[in-house]
């Protein structure tokens, strides 16, 4: 069981910062919402895609796929009967599949409630027919890139099209393609009449992706849903795909949601006696982290030995051993340069140069 998290939770964060935090928290996968990259995926160049992928992989992360595929787009719709909309939607899904493969992903999770809702007067059977026609046009091209489409049942409060795993299975049967599969979402399955563990076991043969969350829009363990029977069913079904955290309420803060969700899922797996996934740190990463801390400690220790610095710290209380900042280093060395002379000035200049350089390097590894 591999743990990932949907990155739209970290809105406003730079991509490199997102990847560092996600990896440090313990996830090994990240699921991307295209609208966080650009208004249209076609606006993300090949070079940008290579950079995005390289940054994720440098932190030991896999971009497992894309979701919210049609969110914040115009002129695209899955069940619309208009032929021009049909062609535009199919072509855009192909572009999303190409982007997914370029980023290293293998799955497109199709949720997008507003872009799939049945228009007034359209029957569910007509909607299934229109949706199947779009996906049939797309699947041969995506298959060449090794990308699957996972159809996501949504709760009736979100969409009026494909609200149950059974309805999704009907669409899967219509398309009859090995790479058109089922995506299951805990929050959506809470609206079904069958217990979630039964749904997991019943549709295990076609389920290729899994979202974890709760009815309160937060992450697993942050609501009332007990995940022990859910994870037990996943283990019984020998599910080996991604388990991805997707939340819709970020009010507790992205950091807390990410950490608490993963901690809870690991605790559940321990209770079930299942192996717990831990992110393996690369040897290079561990060496860099150790070097950062050693160098930082040496700098603080030697700087604190300077009389001017010791006097400055005792009177101004600008720094402590761990909490130094770039500006504090500048102020301290400037104060020493104004009051000391000779070799003391030379040492202060050296320390200033070190302090101006070290934090930039440290931030890449230690988030300081």
Establish if 280 belongs to a structural domain.
Answer: no
pLDDT at position 158? 96
Confidence of residue 333 (pLDDT cuts 50, 70, 90): very low
- Residue that terminates a domain, selected from 238, 271, 304: 271
Q: From CA 17, how far away is CA 299, in angstroms rounded?
A: 26
CB atoms within 10 A of CB 119: 12
| CA distances, 318 to each of 98, 261, 305, 362 (Å) | 52, 37, 16, 20
Q: From CA 314, how far away is CA 85, in angstroms rounded?
A: 70
End-to-end C-alpha distance for the chain, whole angstroms: 32
Task: Kindly report, residue by residue over 269-322, the tens digit of the pLDDT.
Answer: 999 998 776 555 444 445 555 665 566 566 555 555 544 444 333 333 333 333
CATH number at 57 reads: 3.20.20.150
Establish if 84 belongs to a structural domain.
Answer: yes
Residues 45 and 19 in one domain: yes
Q: From CA 18, how far away is CA 342, in angstroms rounded?
A: 46
Q: How many domains does the chain have?
A: 2
Residue 130 pLDDT more than 50?
yes
* pTM for the predicted model, two decimal places: 0.76
Residues 142 and 246 in one domain: yes
Establish if 178 belongs to a structural domain.
Answer: yes
Average pLDDT over residues 75-103: 97
Residues 214 and 148 in one domain: yes
Q: From CA 364, how far away is CA 14, in angstroms rounded?
A: 12
Percent of the chain with pLDDT over 90: 73
Q: What is the 3-state secondary structure (H, E, C) of 99-166?
A: HHHHCCCCEEEECCHHHCCCCCCCCHHHHHHHHHHHHHHHHHHHHHHCCEEEECCCCCCCCCCCCCHH
Structure tokens at 292: 């950062």
Exposed, middle or buried by CB within 10 Å (0-12, 13-18, 19+), for 288?
Answer: middle
Residues 29 and 163 in one domain: yes
Average pLDDT over residues 70-98: 97
Residues 75 and 173 in one domain: yes
pLDDT at position 321? 33
Q: From CA 265, how far away is CA 160, in angstroms rounded?
A: 31
Instruction: Choose among 239, 231, 187, 189: nearest CA to 213.
Output: 187
Residues 239 and 183 in one domain: yes
Whether residue 55 contacts residue 100, with contact meaning beta carbons closer than 8 Å, is answered with no
Whether residue 231 contacts residue 269, with contact meaning beta carbons closer than 8 Å, is answered with yes
Establish if 222 belongs to a structural domain.
Answer: yes
Establish if 197 belongs to a structural domain.
Answer: yes
Establish if 164 belongs to a structural domain.
Answer: yes
Residues 89 and 222 in one domain: yes
Average pLDDT over residues 155-184: 97
Residues 213 and 67 in one domain: yes
| CA distances, 23 to each of 10, 19, 63, 291, 365 (Å) | 13, 6, 12, 19, 11
Establish if 209 belongs to a structural domain.
Answer: yes
- Which residue range is the domain that position 81 belongs to? 2-271
Q: From CA 56, how far away is CA 92, in angstroms rounded?
A: 24
Least confident of 87-101, 169-183, 237-251, 336-350: 336-350
Residues 299 and 352 in one domain: yes
Establish if 333 belongs to a structural domain.
Answer: yes
Q: Is 217 left (phi over 0), alpha (psi -120 to 50) or beta?
A: left
- Residue that terminates a domain, selected from 216, 236, 271: 271
Q: From CA 130, how far away is CA 86, in angstroms rounded?
A: 8
Alpha-carbon Rg of the chain, whole angstroms? 26
Residues 254 and 299 in one domain: no
Exposed, middle or buried by CB within 10 Å (0-12, 13-18, 19+), for 111?
Answer: buried
Confidence of residue 62 (pLDDT cuts 50, 70, 90): very high
pLDDT at position 275? 76
Residues 154 and 256 in one domain: yes
Residues 225 and 354 in one domain: no
Q: From CA 116, how far away is CA 168, in angstroms rounded?
A: 13
């Amino acid at each position: 069981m591999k743990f990932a998290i949907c990155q739209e939770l970290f809105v406003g964060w730079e991509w490199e910062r997102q990847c560092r935090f996600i990896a440090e928290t313990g996830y090994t996968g990240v699921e991307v919402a295209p609208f966080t990259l650009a208004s249209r995926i076609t606006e993300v160049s090949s070079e940008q895609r290579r950079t995005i992928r390289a940054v994720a992989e440098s932190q030991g992360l896999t971009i497992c796929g894309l979701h919210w595929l049609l969110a914040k787009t115009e002129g695209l719709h899955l069940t619309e009967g208009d032929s021009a909309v049909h062609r535009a939607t199919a072509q855009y899904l192909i572009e999303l599949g190409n982007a997914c493969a370029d980023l290293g992903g293998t799955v497109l999770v199709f949720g997008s409630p507003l872009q799939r809702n049945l228009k007034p007067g359209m029957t569910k059977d007509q909607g299934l027919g229109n949706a199947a026609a779009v996906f049939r046009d797309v699947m041969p091209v995506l298959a060449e890139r090794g990308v699957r489409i996972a159809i996501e049942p949504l709760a009736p409060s979100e969409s009026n099209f494909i609200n149950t795993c059974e309805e999704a299975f009907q669409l899967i049967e219509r398309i009859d393609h090995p790479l058109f599969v089922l995506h299951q979402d805990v929050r959506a399955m809470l609206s079904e009449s069958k217990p979630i563990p039964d749904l997991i076991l019943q549709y295990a043969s076609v389920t290729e992706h899994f979202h974890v969350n709760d009815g309160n829009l937060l992450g697993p363990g942050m609501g009332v849903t007990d995940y022990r029977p859910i994870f037990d069913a996943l283990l019984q079904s020998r599910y080996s795909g991604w388990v991805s955290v997707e939340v819709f309420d970020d009010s507790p803060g992205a950091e807390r949601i990410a950490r608490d969700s993963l901690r809870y899922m690991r605790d559940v797996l321990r209770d079930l006696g299942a192996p717990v996934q831990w992110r393996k740190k690369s040897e290079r990463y561990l060496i860099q982290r150790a070097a950062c801390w050693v160098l930082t400690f040496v700098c603080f220790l030697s700087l604190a030995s300077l009389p001017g610095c010791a006097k400055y710290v005792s009177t101004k209380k600008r720094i402590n051993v761990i909490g130094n900042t770039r500006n504090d280093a500048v102020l301290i060395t400037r104060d020493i340069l104004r009051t000391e002379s000779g070799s003391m000035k030379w040492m202060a200049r050296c320390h200033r140069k070190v302090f101006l350089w070290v934090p930039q390097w440290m931030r890449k590894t230690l988030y300081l």
